[in-house]
Amino acid sequence: MIPLTIAQIARATAGDPLLSGDDTLDTVVSGTVDTDSRLIRPGDVFVAKPGETTDGHRFVATAAEAGAALALVERPVDAPLTQIVVADAVTALADLARAVVADVRERGDLRIVGITGSNGKTTTKNLLARILEGEGETVSPRASFNNEVGAPLTMLRVGADTRYLVSEFGASAPGEIARLAGLVHPDVGIVLMVGMAHAGGFGGIEATFHAKSELVRAVRAGGLAVLNADDARVAAMAPIAAEGEVNVRWFGRGADADVRAEAVEVTASGTHCTVVADGVSAPLHLRVLGEHHVMNALAAIAAATALGVSLTDAVARVETLELAERWRMQPLGSERVRIINDAYNASPDSMAAALRTLAQITRPGERTVAVLGAMSELGEYAEDEHDRIGLLAVRLGIQRIVIVGPEARRMYLEAIAQGSWDGEAVFFATADEAYDYLLGELRDGDRVLVKSSNSVGLRFLGDRLGESFS
């Protein structure tokens, strides 16, 4: 965090300072802000956030022992450090982030990019950050820090010399993106796609459209919306951009996109294509597995070139990224048995894309194996969407379909109904049972996809398989 006095922090958070030791209202604090007491270092700021399973106030003393300079609390705690008592810790965190970013923006040359979409946010964030890091100091989220806590924590990492802030905005209900993006009003807003992820929480696909369009509405006047020309719902956000005096830059596979991909070829080592941006072309070897990640790369390149990065530099930096993030199309195992661990998140769109990738990268003589768990947060759409994935797995010719967990059983039943009843499709109630089966079933030449929502935990099954066949 930029240096601020205790008085300035109190004003930004509408809090009441309770001084400790030699501190005064003019004492300057400049450490990292965090809600996890285990990560606190000397000089840091601890935010005592109440949680579903525990309460951050229990760890204020722990933060003090670690050397915290200050704590944001909702009630005073008996601990030897200065505290600022606020009405709501999460709201105070957001207010502090808003104030810090505004201060840096006013005094420097900070450019802010916001990213949202039903799928691909984290991959696009990492690709864009890799590009922009070559231009100047860049702050981007760790992992998927994209919610009401993670996004402000990322914003608070900006400093006087930060040139780019890349923010990822996720949401599970309407209004969340508006609140987060409204803290900073990005110069550039990227909308990747509108799909079924979190459809249960939003109340359907149209409600998801309105939620994702909140980012376009939050872009500052004169800024830029980078929109997916191949997604009809994203394309329908162009009038919203026009209403806010925001320009539009299109990315996609079609000829009319400002930034597009041609001659796409998917291999086990990545995807090859030619990127065309504003009439200039460059070959790209995207090492992140999956044809669907070409769109994420195009979005990142579209934003970066709009910010003044040359296409040549943008493509060269994208090519250096081998892995989007742990548990996202992560290659494990060995050439003998290759494991693709993509079980950090799953929606109908990302599940379908991962299955298609598995089919595309498997060569003659190799066998496709899909280990699939439930897709969460689909609400009333869950049964139909799980049925569709079971159907797709059969139609793609996946040779072994391993379904794990009772919430995913519909995929197994659909695969059986479509003809995979002679051992091609199997069901296991637990990951341990599936692991035991796979240890005996997998053989040389197998290409194995492990895919589920984060809550199911199949990412750990993927790790175990990767270790066993390394």
Cross-strand pairs, 451? 372
Give which of 102, 108, 162, 114 is closest to 135, Cα–Cα.
Answer: 162
Q: Where are the beta strands (DSSP E) in 319-373?
A: 330-333, 337-341, 367-372
Tokens 């504003």, located at residue:
278
DSSP state of 376: P
Contact 83, 20 (CB under 8 A): yes
DSSP state of 39: G
122 is in an annotated binding site: yes
The H or E element that residue 311 is part of is: helix 311-318
Task: Name the amino acid, one letter, at 296.
Answer: N
Half-sphere exposure of 339 (CA within 13 A, CB side): 27
- Tokens representing 457? 């935990």
454 is in an annotated binding site: no
The three-class DSSP label of residue 445 is: coil
The three-class DSSP label of residue 316 is: helix
- State how far the Cα of 263 lies from the Cα of 79, in Å rounded to an integer: 62
Sheet with 367-372, strands from edge to edge, namely 330-333, 337-341, 446-451, 367-372, 400-404, 425-428
Give which of 263, 262, 270, 460 is closest to 357, Cα–Cα.
Answer: 270
Alpha carbon 161 to its chain's center: 25
Number of Cβ within 10 Å of residue 137's Cβ equals: 15
Q: What is the largest CA-CA distance in the chain?
A: 75
Tokens 């194995």, located at residue:
448
Give which of 71, 29, 33 is closest to 156, Cα–Cα.
Answer: 33
Number of Cβ within 10 Å of residue 51's Cβ equals: 9
159 is in an annotated binding site: no
HEC per residue, 249-270: EEEECCCCCCEEEEEEEEECCE
The three-class DSSP label of residue 401 is: strand
451 is in an annotated binding site: no
231-to-76, 128, 145, 193, 257 alpha-carbon distances in Å: 50, 20, 25, 6, 12
119 is in an annotated binding site: yes
Q: Where are the beta strands (DSSP E) in 380-431?
A: 400-404, 425-428
- The binding site for ATP consists of 117-123
- The binding site consists of 117-123
